[in-house]
Amino acid sequence: MLTRTPDYYSSFRCLAGACPHTCCAKWEVVIDPDTAGRYEAVPGPLGERLRAALVRDEDGDWCFPLQGERCPFLDGENLCEIHRQLGEAATSVTCREHPRFTEDYGPFREITLSASCPAANALLLGSEAPLTFREEGSMEEPADHDTALLLALRDRLLAVLADRRMPLRRRLERFLTAALAAQDALDTWDEDALSALAAGELPPEPPRVEDGPGLFPDALGLLSGLEILEPDWRELLRQAETAPAAEVPEPLLERIAVYFAFRYLLKAVNDGDLLGQAQLCLLAVLTVERLAPVTGLGEALRRFSCEVEHDDGNLEALLEAFRQETPPLAAFFRQLG
């Protein structure tokens, strides 16, 4: 199996009790069935507490409901009692894997580290060098034709984002222009056009759009209407509407853009919606930039990731909004122009 990860992946270390934003709070702790079954056999007081805490949520999954917005097994030192007494292997898959996002694409898999995690966030923003990706292992069989073609397209789009010969705004515009052309080719399954785009024959100019509003503030209203994790999220978005712009280093915004593009673009293999995924990436980058004067860059990225990346319903709601042209595609181009 070939595994692809960001270049800082091996440097990741959980902050454990020193984490300022523990992943054992705010989110419901889902327990996979195998782990829930093992808890039935744990002896002593801890076993009794485990069994008493396990309940089914509204989706029918086993979980530990939060107590005071904290996992009931998060102790006073912000450490996991289950991990301490029974070892890491006794924790749920969710706990063992966080903050990793793992996507399997048949003969290869890709793993990213969620920017909601302070340690992963610091690694992503701790360098201004171009973000690259490492491969380990090998593919025992080739990827299917459609996946291979989308992979080549994504590589080209990542190269556009990383081309520091031009300002980042121009790169983001070219990224969206290429994604739009690729979507047109995908919709008609024009393999020649897709192959040409993957080979670097990008549209020379973005489409012409009529004058009108850019992405903001309407996009902030769209985000405010989604399900929220922390109650101050909507207030932060409201403050971002009028906050004076702050200079954010382009190399860091570029790394954020590449982070999102690597994570999301290839998901188009499931639904063919490459343009929607590209819009999601741009919304993320531009919203984080807009929030940075309010919270600081790292916290803006962390909060966006918490509120959007970890909620499948919110991700799907955004993709559906893009499909409904709310906000219109032209607003993205006007924002970048």
- Say if residue 81 is in the same domain as residue 154: no
Spatial CB neighbours of 247, under 8 Å, sequence gap ≥ 6: none
How far apart CA 168 and CA 285 sit, in angstroms, is: 11
Question: What percent of the chain is modeled with pLDDT above 70?
Answer: 100
- Domain with 44 in it: 24-97
- Say if residue 73 is in the same domain as residue 158: no
Eight-state DSSP code of residue 216 = T
In a domain, 269, yes or no: yes
In a domain, 128, yes or no: no
Write the pLDDT tens digit of every residue in 153-193: 999 999 999 999 999 999 999 999 999 999 999 999 999 99
pLDDT at residue 204 is higher than 90? no
Q: What is the pLDDT of residue 306?
A: 97
In a domain, 75, yes or no: yes
Compute the mean pLDDT over every residue in the chain, rounded to the nearest whole number.
95
- Say if residue 78 is in the same domain as residue 188: no
- Say if residue 82 is in the same domain as residue 147: no
pLDDT at residue 110 is higher than 90? yes
- Say if residue 63 is in the same domain as residue 206: no
- Say if residue 314 is in the same domain as residue 165: yes
Q: How confident is the model at residue 246 (pLDDT cuts 50, 70, 90)?
A: confident
How far apart CA 150 and CA 272 sit, in angstroms, is: 9
In a domain, 122, yes or no: no
- Say if residue 65 is in the same domain as residue 200: no
In a domain, 117, yes or no: no
- Say if residue 81 is in the same domain as residue 217: no
- Say if residue 65 is in the same domain as residue 148: no
Per-residue pLDDT, averaged over 87-106, amounts to: 94
In a domain, 290, yes or no: yes
- Residue of 161, 180, 143 lying closest to 273 (CA atoms): 180
Q: What is the pLDDT of residue 284?
A: 98
- Residue of 95, 101, 92, 99 lying closest to 39 (CA atoms): 92
- Say if residue 37 is in the same domain as residue 186: no
Burial of 65-88, coded b for 16+ CB within 10 Å and e otherwise, reads ebeeebbbbbeeebebebbeebee
Query: 72, 97, 122 — which closes off a domain?
Result: 97
Instruction: Please report, for the chain, how many H helices and E strands are present, in that order.
Output: 16, 7
- Say if residue 51 is in the same domain as residue 159: no
Query: 81, 97, 113 — which closes off a domain?
Result: 97
In a domain, 85, yes or no: yes
| Matching residue, tokens 């270049």 | 7
Query: 60, 79, 97 — which closes off a domain?
Result: 97
Per-residue pLDDT, averaged over 299-320, amounts to: 97
What total number of domains does the chain contain?
2
In a domain, 181, yes or no: yes
pTM: 0.94
- Say if residue 245 is in the same domain as residue 169: yes
